[in-house]
Amino acid sequence: MTIARRERKERVETDEQEGLLFETYADRVYRYALRRVKVAAVAEDIAAEVFSEVYRRPSRVPTEAAQAWLLGIARRKIADYYRKANVRSEVPLNEAITADEPLGFGALIEGERQRQLQALVNSLPSDQREALLLFYVEDLSPAEIAITLRRSRFAVNSLLQRARKRIYELGRDYFDEGREKC
């Protein structure tokens, strides 16, 4: 096989792999970004940048922990976004003025509870918060979180343990109320 043919074959294989990665993980990366930046268009930007990175250096993607690796890149892109743009806390105008359907009282209460929980999570130190969300919301294993956060597995376990302890302490009322509901 000539060098050119081998290169072409490798390229086709790489393209297929990259396409598969995008199909499998685009939604997760996008939602991960959206949870943090709150603006859909920015989350799309970040997802595009993450997968551009994949295309640029496909050999760096660890096949056994691709999702964790992608989220790690997304995490750094999000940090770049906030750092570069000096982004202020703001509600996009188009979202702010979109009228919701009238809410029932049950939905109001549920919304209130969700806001309480969000506030609780946001009150955690950033590394604990990140570990907690990756574990419970993104459904990553501690080993995968270690790749995303570039920490050791033991450090991640410790972070998770402290995060759990702290959130149960801070949100005692919240969780007691929830137990009654159950």
Q: By the criterion CB under 8 A, which residues form the site for another protein? A: 3-4, 7-8, 11, 22, 26-27, 30-31, 34-35, 40-41, 44, 47-48, 51-52, 55-56, 84-94, 96-97, 99-100, 102-109, 111-115, 117-118, 121, 132-133, 136-137, 164, 167-168, 175, 178-179, 182
CB of 123 to another protein, least distance (A): 14
| C-alpha dihedral, 20 to 23 to 29 to 31, nearest 10° | -160
Nearer to another protein, 63 or 88 (CB): 88
Give the C-alpha separation, 138 to 161, whole Å.
Answer: 17
Cα–Cα nearest to 71, from 124, 6, 25 = 25
For another protein, which is the closer residue by CB, 1 or 3?
Answer: 3
Q: Which is nearer to another protein, 10 or 152 (CB)?
A: 10
| Cβ contact 138:71 at 8 Å | yes
When the beta carbons of 64 and 182 are compared against another protein, the nearer one is 182
Q: List phi, psi (to 5°) of 98.
A: -70, 120
Shortest distance, position 153 Cβ to another protein, whole Å:
19
Q: Are 18 and 54 in contact (CB under 8 A)?
A: yes
Answer whether 163's CB lies under 8 Å from 128's CB.
Answer: yes
Residue 108 CB, shortest distance to another protein, in Å, is 4
